[in-house]
Amino acid sequence: MEPQFIVKIDCTKAELFKACYDYRYESTSYPTASKVLIFCFIVGFFPSLFFLFFPFFYPHYINAFLRFCIPLYFLSATLYYFSVPYIWQYRTIATQYNISLKKLLMLKKSGSPEDLERLKTIKTGHISGTLIFYSDHFEYSDLLNNTYLIHFVYEKDDHFIIFVHEHKMIFLIKKNLFLKGTPEEFRTFLDKKYQAARPGQRDNTSQ
């Protein structure tokens, strides 16, 4: 199958995090969700925390464990929501370097010069490689040699952000790094296939 687009990716750890953050909080579907979550947190967490210390407001059948779990649930859900950009960032870095949490711990435990050097490289979080786009999927020239499906797309002035929901990964595509095809052609391709979202537009991509 002939690839339609070939793109080189080259971004630092900071650039990758910014891409994750921009997609999470600037694409138009998420700011509304963020406001709803913050509202639910305020309405749910603080009253439940108050009731934890003043249990006489609760019905008699709600024990201390449940009173403790209710504010803990609101707090943990909120912390998870706002940590999602970090999760996406590290999932992408882990794929780039073919590393899992178990392997990372083993490298730290080993302490050999080679492993320590690899750890140092991983910590930089530099992402590089080639994305090869076909009509129905794209491939990433990582060590795992997987194929990926585009789930959501977000476009900014000088780059595209591709989100792969299945793997919880973000790819930052700079418009000046196309090896085959042009950003304009890529934009048309995304509009046709995935209805890519620009700032101020609704993110309504194909699953």
pLDDT digits 0-9 by tens, 190-201: 887 765 444 444
Residue 130 lies in a domain: yes
Is 176 exposed, middle or buried (CB count within 10 Å of its CB: 0-12, 13-18, 19+)? exposed
Please give the Cα distance from 155 to 175 (Å, whole number): 10
Residue 21 lies in a domain: yes
Residue 153 lies in a domain: yes
Domain count, the chain: 1
What was the pLDDT predicted at 205? 44
Nearest residue to 40 (alpha-carbon basis) of 61, 86, 71? 71
Residue 142 pLDDT > 70, yes or no?
A: no
How would you label 101-117 residue by residue, b for 16+ Cβ within 10 Å and e otherwise?
A: eeeeeebeeeeeeeeee
Please give the Cα distance from 35 to 29 (Å, whole number): 11
Please give the Cα distance from 108 to 104 (Å, whole number): 6
Task: Kindly report, residue by residue over 93-126, the tens digit of the pLDDT.
Answer: 888 887 877 888 887 787 788 888 888 888 888 8
Domain range spanning residue 111?
Answer: 5-29+84-193
Residue 132 lies in a domain: yes
Task: Look up the pTM and report it.
Answer: 0.72
